[in-house]
Amino acid sequence: MNQKNGKLLVFTKSPVLGEVKTRLQPEYSQQQSLALHKLLTLNTLSLSVKLTNLDIELCCTPNRNTLFFLDCENKFPIKLSDQQGADLGERMAFSLSVALQTHAKVIIIGTDCPAIDEDYIEQAVLALDEHDAVIGPASDGGYVLLGLRKFSLELFNGVSWGSDSVLKQTRKKLANLNWSHHELAIMHDIDRPEDLHRLLGLKTVRHFTVNEKATEND
């Protein structure tokens, strides 16, 4: 397979019962949360079929050796890797720095934003023709996408990951680095019950049915 000019890194967690989508609980069970996590991951990876201009890597934590991830590798044109680092910032920095050694443009996303589509990714790729970085802001004060064509560890040091100030801190760091950046449309992550309510367009989705049998840590 020929290497492409750009790369998409997809960050996700291993599908372990009780350890994913925990902020949906107790409104949703651990089984429902696990099933939703898998569904969101598959939805994101389905982009790989359309984004033929990018190499795509599924970056897994704590490791890629699960039946679910191996099945994803068989179903989609992706490769698997392990995230490395003590926190999200270190893990993102590592994966981006490695990818930028072989690709001119690298974009990183998670699996919690089902609104991200191929057009959104393509907008990010095009933005990197003119800018050093591109950001997809999240409605909760973080971001759902980060794209770079150069690397600096400073962009990831001292950021309050998981807080509502991540985007603000990142903008400040980009300004301190004197990097130009472009921002895409604001998107919503699926982290809390109200996020899922918004996605489904209902006031309540307590009858949301996902596979209750998804209990294996695969």
Domain ranges of the chain: 6-200
Tens digit of each residue's pLDDT (9 = 90 or more) over 13-52: 999 999 999 999 888 999 999 999 999 999 999 999 999 9
SS3 93: helix
Helices (H), the chain: 30-45, 67-75, 88-99, 118-127, 166-177, 193-200
Q: Which CATH number fits domain 6-200: 3.40.50.300, 2.40.30.110, 3.90.550.10, 2.40.50.140?
A: 3.90.550.10
| Cα-based distances in Å from 216 to 22, 37, 149, 211 | 16, 13, 39, 12
Per residue in 116-147, pLDDT tens?
Answer: 999 999 999 999 999 999 999 999 999 999 99
Predicted pLDDT of residue 209: 46
Q: Which of 152-156, 157-161, 209-213 has the lowest mean pLDDT?
A: 209-213
Give all strands of the β-sheet with 79-82 in edge-to-edge order: 79-82, 54-61, 6-13, 105-109, 143-148, 133-137, 181-183
Reply yes or no on whether the pLDDT at 205 is more than 80.
Answer: no
User: Does residue 99 or residue 205 have the better pLDDT?
Assistant: 99
